[in-house]
Amino acid sequence: MTNGATIVTAVVGLFRRDVVLAWRRRSDLLTTVFFFVSVASLFPLGVGPEPAMLRTIGPGVVWVAALLAGLLSLPRLFAVDYQDGTLEQLLLVPHPLSLLVASKVCAHWLTSGLPIVLLSPLLGMQFGLTGMSILLLMVSLLMGTVALSFVGSIGAALTLGIRGSGLLVALVTLPLFVPILIFGAGAVASGEAGTGVEAHLSLLGACVMLAVAFAPWATAAAVRIALE
């Protein structure tokens, strides 16, 4: 019981630390949010104000903007801790590194993914989506951004200490993001078209569970390799 309580304390403490540090670097958070809003808002200006077309492309545009904004924030997931030696200290802690990594990923999602989810209704209204479609957009992004953070953590760990890691993170993680993008945007598009959304949401949920279950172990292994 004591060991279990110690692990919980360590995980919660690391989570709170990362959230506090992210809040102190609010410029990074605002950059991600501004990028998300800007990318999604530029499409209506480029394709024209036709309502039917905007409703058709809206789910995909918002999802692509969310994916790119997530990529923008991924290099910061481990970079600062790698530079100041915190990651090396985490290896010395007598707790599973995968749990500590999962705590850091959850903090990353809270500060980078959740703002995207909360802003998505405004962008959905910009594309003329119905109320049900906007709700589906929020649900799919809520699930999808979790998967993006966990899967993206693998790429962030693999590129630790490499110059130009931002581009490498994108090259490593983009192929893994494709199923999440397809199922997430497909759920909203199916809801807008009046067809069933259960299949898309079920597959998206499966992606989330696989990411949460296996990504921390893969990320922990990549962190150990980077620090050797």
Predicted confidence (pLDDT) per residue in 185-195, tens digit: 988 888 877 77
pLDDT of residue 4: 66
pLDDT of residue 1: 44
pTM of the model: 0.90
pLDDT of residue 91: 84
Q: Residue 152 — pLDDT band, cuts 50, 70, 90?
A: very high
Tell me how far apart the alpha carbons of residues 124 and 130 are, in angstroms, rounded to a whole number. 8
Question: For tokens 């998967």, what's the residue?
Answer: 147
Whether residue 82 has pLDDT greater than 90: no
DSSP annotation string for 122-153: HHHHHTT--HHHHHHHHHHHHHHHHHHHHHHH
Coil, strand or helix: which one is 50?
coil
Residues in Cβ contact with 181 at an 8 Å cutoff, skipping those fewer than 6 apart: 63, 64, 67, 144
